[in-house]
A and B are shown apart, each in its own frame.
Chain A
Amino acid sequence: MINLAINGLPVSVEAGTTLLEAARFVGFPIPTLCHMDGLSPYGACRLCVVEIGDGPRARLVSSCTYPAEEGLKVRTASSRVVRARRMVIELLLASCPQSKVIQDLASAHGVRQQRFKQEHEDCILCGLCVRMCEEQMMAKAIGFRGRGEKRSIGTPFDVKSDLCRLCGGCMYVCPACQLRCTYTEPEKAICGGCANLAPPCLEKEQFDDLMCYMDPCVACEIRKDR
């Protein structure tokens, strides 16, 4: 067991536990966006930062990726953490104002204004869909491409991957883009799962073991009626 102190409270956890798990276990809330139980930690959204260490060596780390260490002092809501967290939310809000998840976060953390030029992006590159596809759906159909401001999520050369089973898992986990659907351009579609009228059922005839999160699916019902 590893002993550490979270907000002054002594906690002992098993080796390999992350700070986020430890804090949540004892009941300290830490907001997250790119973290999901069942998916590997990634540390992309930086919402879950906590302060560790003392004095001049104190620093912020993402609690979802940082492993619990013996004797570590963790502060989950110091002024430095709160300031950073609010700026992250402000940046998120400036990029993706239409996401309900982000609006709720802003509301919960008292972010009332956004001082940057408003953008309307539909992806914050949290990588949940990429990990969902790879780790839970065993498909690896989508991945990150490019770097810096050109980074995006998609398939190589924007061609639909043969590995994609149109399960829609990627859309299910997305915190920002629930409504993103490129079904009008099926060749560029990441998953096509949103086409809840025909494609999943069409494919289903060819694949018996198709995992469909929409099951039971209205589209199938419609087809049966015909």
Chain B
Amino acid sequence: MDRVDSLDKFSALQSRLVAALDPGSPTIVVPAGTCGQVSGANELVRRARQVLLERNLAERVRLRVTGCHGFCEMEPSVLIEPEGTFYPKVNPADMARIVEAVADGAVVEDLLFLEPATGARVRKQADLPFFRKQVRTILSRNEKVDPTRLDSYIENGGYSALARALRQGDPRWVVDEVRASGLRGRGGAGFPTGLKWQRLAEQPNGRGKFIVCNADEGDPGAYMDRSVLEGNPHSIIEGMVIGAYGTGATEGIVYVRNEYPLAVKHLAAALQQARELGILGRDILGTGFSFDIRMVKGAGAFVCGEETALLRSIEGLMGEPRQRPPFPVQKGIAGKPTAINNVETWANVPIIIQEGGDKFAKIGTPNNTGTKIFSLVGKVRNTGLIEVPMGITIREIISDIGGGPSGKVPVKAVQTGGPSGGCIPVERFDLPIDYDSLTKAGSIMGSGGMIVMDENTCMVDVAKYFTNFLKDESCGKCFTCRKGTQRMHEILDGVSKGEGGPEQLDLLEELALVVKDTTMCGLGQTAPNPVLSTLRYFRQEYLEHIEGRRCRAGVCKELITYSINEQCTGCRACVKACPQGAITGTRKERHTIAAAQCIKCGACRSVCQFDAVDVT
């Protein structure tokens, strides 16, 4: 693409691209983010191309490969535009039928989504319960844009927010709009973005300023940032260029984890395209404003998501947080003022500038504006990425969007905010999701992980899992964080084995409070949250482990025994599955498990079709 050297030429290019679009032409959209590709989206694309070429349909039916749309449970899926027909879990063998139906303007009824509650077929994506309650301002762009093509982004209104900001000719206008929007940092802490930008803008611009996009998403089970980077890398670039214009930053850095190869690939291509078009580099769109972005790949330390550790990592040092103040906005990379925002925050910026800060502020609740993407995972029927307005209740998310529990047992709690977050019990599911109420409930917003747990989840085991993660991922600088997480894990491990007495719980709580109080960075200060929140809401379960030597969820191996009840038909399935040879019994008679040999792996229970294996 040729370099565009003025705002007018850019607008002309955009109108030319939009005019060439025919909104009515049938299009097959295949979401192929990392999640889609793993479940087989590439094969669907290959089949679709083949059929289109074989039947000479390539002129009439278009094919678009996009990033993740969010409904990961149903991937690989296919979306048909303009009607919005949705085909879940498509088998490559069925692709030919779908392509032909699209060419004829028909629908393949038997491949449509089957609503489990009513047994009815649902045709349109917008009518699916998963999508109905969502407000998808960021994720809906993932559906429209082919992340590898700059044309595709521009024809969907891309970079027009940047053009609008540049036309205003006043950097202060940008900062004011972002302040008016009330946008708060989506990385978890919820610091007002506009305020951060204003402080950066106020810094003297002697030797340059930096803005950083934090794409070091490390929470287990969270992948919002990945899907935005993979599905719409230009929106991040646009957000950063707008941010640079507003704050006077001279250099941008995207710190992305190297474990996201597709995101790295798409972002690298997008940076190159933007540079060729004249969106990045010297004299952007002929306005005399210069700014460039480079990518730094992280080496996989969770703590590098913390802003001061991230800065050190960018400088090539060990990822280790340092004392704030001085804040990065005063002294950041190489001592220069630096503002760090999360991927999702940057993705919100073009929307705010395009639609206006006041309009953005109307979504959500006062002081918690806009939408937030969550990755809804765990024991819930519809897993995937959801984008909801702030202030929606947990119950709405889990029951309406998530479709309730995935198994037969009811939901017990939800864990928000990744390893540093806390567990919220089902009694408090009417809690609105926003920064302040989650913090009050003992959890955090975090970057947006949401893990649903049912009655088969042991809360002691959950706390133990997260402290185990944190004791490995703490940088180890602060003694209380390093040793505190180790000691918390040690005590929790004891509890899960039924060791010790109730005084262990008091010690655990005392230690957790001190760790929260005395560590330097956000990782340590939030590390005790999984322990404190489970102790607060599920203390009874802890006591059962210690006093009754019982794990009601049947998870803690030291406290459970496997046995076979009278439901057993003697089918011998469990005998074959047992890796220890601990199950004996003759065909068509009730089997028995030898407790001495049993390693409590649960293999017998998962193969049994008659619910004959009990865990007590």
Contacts and interface: CB of A to CB of B under 8 A. Distances in A.
Q: What 8 pairs across the A-B complex have the smallest Cβ distances?
A: A151-B476, A65-B323, A87-B514, A148-B472, A46-B518, A60-B517, A148-B474, A46-B480
B559 interface: no
B173 interface: no
A152 to B, nearest CB: 9
Given A65-B323, A95-B483, A43 B520 contact: yes
A147 B474 contact: yes
Given A87-B514, A91-B484, A43 B473 contact: no
Interface of B: 301, 303, 318-320, 322-323, 325-326, 470-480, 482-487, 490, 507, 510-511, 514, 517-520
B476 A147 contact: yes
Contact of B518 (A60, A67, A124, A149): A60
B514 A84 contact: yes
A84 B318 contact: no
Nearest to B507: A115
A87 B511 contact: yes
A144 B318 contact: yes
A169 B83 CA distance: 75
Residue of B479, B507, B511, B520 contacting most chain A CB atoms (<10 Å): B479
Contact of B323 (A59, A62, A87, A127): A62
Nearest to B515: A87
A88 interface: yes
Contacts of A115: 507
Contacts, number: 99
Contacts of A92: 479
A149 B482 CA distance: 6
Contacts of A61: 323
A69 interface: yes
Contacts of A146: 476
A111 to B, nearest CB: 13
Given A66-B323, A80-B517, A88-B518, A46 B478 contact: yes
Contacts of A44: 477-479
Given A60-B518, A66-B323, A149-B471, A88 B479 contact: yes
B427 to A, nearest CB: 25
B517 A147 contact: no
A167 interface: no
Among B471, B507, B520, the most chain A Cβ lie within 10 Å of the Cβ of: B520
Nearest to B491: A116
| Majority secondary structure, B binding face | helix
Contacts of B323: 41, 43, 61-62, 65-66
11 contacts: A42-B477, A43-B323, A62-B518, A88-B514, A91-B484, A144-B318, A148-B472, A148-B475, A149-B476, A150-B476, A151-B475
A69 B518 contact: no
A117 interface: yes
Contacts of B477: 42-44, 125, 127
A116 B482 CA distance: 15
B518 A49 contact: yes
Contacts of B507: 115
Given A80-B517, A83-B514, A91 B479 contact: yes
A65 B320 CA distance: 14
B517 A84 contact: yes
B377 to A, nearest CB: 24
B473 A147 contact: yes
A94 B519 CA distance: 19
A17 to B, nearest CB: 13
Contacts of A59: 517
B167 to A, nearest CB: 41
A101 interface: no
B282 to A, nearest CB: 38
Contact of B479 (A45, A116, A144): A45
B471 A148 contact: yes
Contact of A116 (B318, B478, B490): B490
A149 B490 contact: no
A24 B323 CA distance: 20
A47 to B, nearest CB: 8
B517 A116 contact: no
B513 to A, nearest CB: 8
A142 to B, nearest CB: 13
Contacts of B472: 147-150
Contacts of B482: 125, 148-149, 151
Give the residue among A46, A88, A117 with the most B Cβ atoms within 10 A. Answer: A46
Contacts of B483: 91, 95
Interface in A29-67: 41-46, 49, 59-62, 65-67
A42 to B, nearest CB: 8
B166 to A, nearest CB: 38
B233 to A, nearest CB: 29
Contacts of A80: 517
A91 B470 CA distance: 18
Most buried by A among B318, B477, B511: B477
Nearest to B511: A87
A49 B524 CA distance: 15
Nearest to B506: A115
Nearest to A59: B517
A144 B518 CA distance: 21
B478 A43 contact: yes
A83 to B, nearest CB: 7
Contacts of A151: 475-476, 482
Contacts of B471: 148-149
B518 A84 contact: yes
B160 to A, nearest CB: 42
A116 B487 contact: yes
A149 B519 contact: no
Nearest to A151: B476
Contacts of A83: 514
Nearest to A143: B318
Nearest to A91: B483
B479 A67 contact: no
A180 to B, nearest CB: 18
A5 to B, nearest CB: 18
A101 B355 CA distance: 62
Q: Which of A42, A60, A91 has the most CB of B within 10 A?
A: A91
A91 B325 contact: no
B522 to A, nearest CB: 13
A65 to B, nearest CB: 4
A125 B476 contact: yes
A147 B478 contact: no
A164 B528 CA distance: 40
Contacts of B479: 44-46, 88, 91-92, 124-126
Interface string A121-158: 00011110000000000000000101111110000000
A150 B486 CA distance: 11
A126 B479 CA distance: 8
Contacts of B319: 147
A87 B325 contact: no
B476 A69 contact: no
Contact of A117 (B301, B475, B490, B514): B490
